[in-house]
Amino acid sequence: MGSDMSGQLIDGNGRIIEYLRVSVTDRCNLRCTYCMPPSGVEVKPRCDILRYKDLLRLIEIFAGIGIRKVRLTGGEPLIRKGITGFIDQINHIPGIEQITLTTNGVALGKMATPLINAGVTKVNISLDSLDRAKYKHITGADELLRALDGIQAATGAGFESVKINMVVMKGVNDDEIEKFVDLTRSMKIQVRFLEFMPATPSVWSDEKFIPITEVREQVYEIEKLVPCAKEQWSGPAKVYKFDGALGEIGFIAAVTSHFCGDCNRLRLTSSGELVNCLFNRERMDLKSMLMAGASNAEIEETIRLTVKGKNAIRVLPTHANNELSQNMSAIGG
């Protein structure tokens, strides 16, 4: 448990928790095959989604006990009305040093500059194919051109960093690895390759899985990689670049490795549930506390007790239990 004297939030394993991922909506304008089951997901009634003022109150409480970085996720965060005004308010919360955002990029073309003006410093863009037909197959929508426009807008808007996340799937998009790394030669972006990860039993597939070591070997065969220094709060990616390239290449072994010893994050769902670990079914309902009139001190104590119980190491879903605590689209990844 963290100490008021230290101004830090510390879990029962001695890890300092400084990073909060906030899902602002469970809705999305895409239907990615690895994120949602084929039948889709039942979105929550809007009355179950936290109002901005309630999210702001919770973020203020988190900031008061040591959270320094906030990442906004979804669903797709850019489809929620008023998002830039909400971000601007987060930007004025004492203690918050960095606001980042994860998006599919479809709505980013018109929003890149407003997001920077509101206070977003870094943006991650999910993009799994540069081929229009494949993109439509993966996402269920013919929106590749808009996503690419969003990337162009982001690189020209002045974000501190623009990262592209590609989930590598055997037989689906693994033949595009070279196309993606080539983007880093002339663009100041970081392309990150992620292992296909079990989201729900209905979307897991051994046939699609490629260990990140194999992906890295494929990239090494293209050209020698030079290691890059890690940024503050940069997460688990191991980052490299080609000599002379403007951008970088990252590798994230979400399945074959774990980063639990360095975990510094919590997740807050759009319905107000605090999640210690993506692979943990347990969560704390903070929304109910808000609705019941709990004081900030009571909510803070609940957060501290919840964080104290954060697992030392994840329990990765298996074939017998291959289900995340919630669909990825709802929990925010």
Instruction: State pLDDT tens for residues 185-209.
Output: 999 999 999 999 866 555 566 789 9
Mean pLDDT of 126-141: 98
Quick one: how far is CA 105 from the chain centroid?
A: 13
Residue range 73-98: mean pLDDT, rounded: 98
**Most confident of the following: 35-44, 220-229, 305-314:** 220-229
Coil vs helix vs strand at 177? helix
Whether residue 66 is predicted with pLDDT greater than 60 in this model: the reply is yes
Cα–Cα nearest to 156, from 200, 182, 187, 195: 187
How far apart CA 235 and CA 238 sit, in angstroms, is 9
**What is the pLDDT confidence band of residue 4, given thresholds at 50, 70 and 90?**
very low
pLDDT of residue 44: 84
What pLDDT sits at residue 38? 65
pLDDT at 5: 37
How much is the pTM?
Answer: 0.91
pLDDT above 70: residue 1: no
Q: Which CATH class is domain 9-162+261-331?
A: alpha beta
Residue 114's contacts (CB-CB under 8 Å, 6 or more residues apart) are 84
φ/ψ of residue 57, rounded to 5: -60, -45
Query: What is the four-CA torsion angle of 13, 18, 23, 24, rounded to 10 degrees?
Result: 150
For the cut 80, the answer to whether the pLDDT of residue 104 exceeds it is yes
The percent of residues above 90 in pLDDT, for the chain, comes to 74
Rounded to whole angstroms, the Cα distance separating 112 from 84 reads 10
- Give CA–CA dist 177/174, Å, rounded: 6
Kindly state the average pLDDT of the residues 130-155: 98
Q: Using the 8-state DSSP alphabet, how is residue 310 labeled?
A: -
Mean pLDDT for the chain?
90
Query: What are the extents of the domains in the chain?
Result: 9-162+261-331
pLDDT value of position 313: 82
Q: Which of 109, 110, 86 is nearest to 99 (CA)?
A: 86
Average pLDDT over residues 289-299: 99
pLDDT in tens, 252-287: 998 888 778 889 999 999 999 999 988 777 899 999
| Mean pLDDT, residues 26-40 | 83
Tell me the backbone φ, ψ of residue 28, rounded to 5 degrees: -145, 150
Whether 288 shows a pLDDT value over 80: the answer reads yes
Question: What's the pLDDT score for residue 204?
Answer: 60
**321 pLDDT band (50/70/90 cuts)?**
very low
Over residues 156-161, mean pLDDT: 97
User: Contact, 271 vs 306, CB < 8 A?
Assistant: no
Q: Which whole number is the average pLDDT over 90-98?
A: 98
170-187: pLDDT as tens digits: 999 999 999 999 999 999
pLDDT digits (tens, 9 = 90+) for 214-260: 999 999 999 999 999 887 777 889 999 999 999 999 999 988 887 78
Range from 71-80, 225-234, 318-327 that averages highest in pLDDT: 71-80
